[in-house]
Structure 1
Amino acid sequence: MTQNLPPQPAIGVGAVVFDGLGRVLLVRRGQPPALGCWSLPGGKQEAGETLRECCRRELREETGLAVEPGPIVALAERRLEGFHYVIVDFLAELAVAEPVPEPVPASDVTDARWVDLAELETYDLVAGLGAVIRAALGRTGLVDVDGAGWLFLPG
């Protein structure tokens, strides 16, 4: 007899990265969940790795870019398509800001690009991503993925 057990939760990270022109870095997912949707670069934490180390590694693997994670701007819990993730989203800065490096899609993404904030609505974004990007723009603290509440962090 087979039981339908819920998926085991996994910890993941994402990074909100802006360039000097105010564009945000997005990747198109090449694997489920949310296959084909645009999201923040990031991925699953590996054993023995800190959240910040995971953020650096995942950004490098998915886009070829080096970043330095800063404050946490959002926490998201996603249960969809047989997956269960708790995602910690960091505001991150490019290690080399000038000239703005172009992302190179790799690993499990099919595209990576800098996106003008005015064009976000034309992208098929993963649920709640707009609220996370707005939270990162304010650089003031945590927001839930629905944008419903703020927890301000000391400066």
Structure 2
Amino acid sequence: MRVRCVGGIVHDQAGRLLVVRRGTPPGEGLWTIPGGRVEPGESDAAAVARELKEETGLDVSVGTLVGTVDRPGPGGVTYEIHDYAATPAAATPLRAGDDAADARWVTPAELHSLPTVPGLLDALRSWGLL
């Protein structure tokens, strides 16, 4: 079974990337870009905006598709993740929420020092973001 998901690739004015530490499985305790499942009848853009608000407290403007990856999940599920560029709508402070245990802005060097979900760094590199 395939499950459509989205992620938001957000940079601040200093060029740092927004990441969240997952608070629930799969990937509990690992860092990734914020995102989640697309609800039935929901557009990708609406899902990105909703997930970013839930996980980080940020309101965002959703831009273009950056890339897509498939990630295996439990029970034979494949998460089909469509990652979109997004821009913060205002200077709102980050606050982790929903299934995110933490949220922060990181430089590429800081991202490399964090335990990340499998394949994240490879995907970001292949899209020219690292």
TM-score by length of 2: 0.91
- Give the aligned partner of residue 58 of structure 2: 65
Per-residue CA deviation, residues 129-153 of structure 1 (Å, 9 max, x unaligned), is: 1233342638xxxxxxxxxxxxxxx
Is 1:95 aligned to 2:89, yes or no? yes
Structure 2, unaligned runs of 5 or more? none
Corresponding residue to 2:129 among 127, 137, 143? 137
- Give the aligned partner of residue 78 of structure 2: 84
The percent of aligned pairs where both chains have the same amino acid is: 41
- Give the aligned partner of residue 22 of structure 2: 29
Tell me how large the CA RMSD over aligned residues is.
1.6
Is 1:48 aligned to 2:41, yes or no? yes
Is 1:110 aligned to 2:101, yes or no? yes
Do the aligned partners of 2:20 and 2:103 also contact (CA within 8 Å) in 1? yes
Equivalences, count:
128
**SS of residue in 1 equivalent to 2:129:** helix
Q: Distance in 1 between matches of 2:10 and 2:55?
A: 13
Is 1:9 aligned to 2:6, yes or no? no
Do the aligned partners of 1:22 and 1:117 also contact (CA within 8 Å) in 2? no
Q: Choose 71-80 or 16-25, whichever is displaced more.
A: 71-80
TM-score by length of 1: 0.77
Larger Rg computed on CA atoms: 1
Report which structure shows greater RCO (CA 8 Å, sep ≥6). 2
Structure 1, unaligned runs of 5 or more? 1-7, 139-155
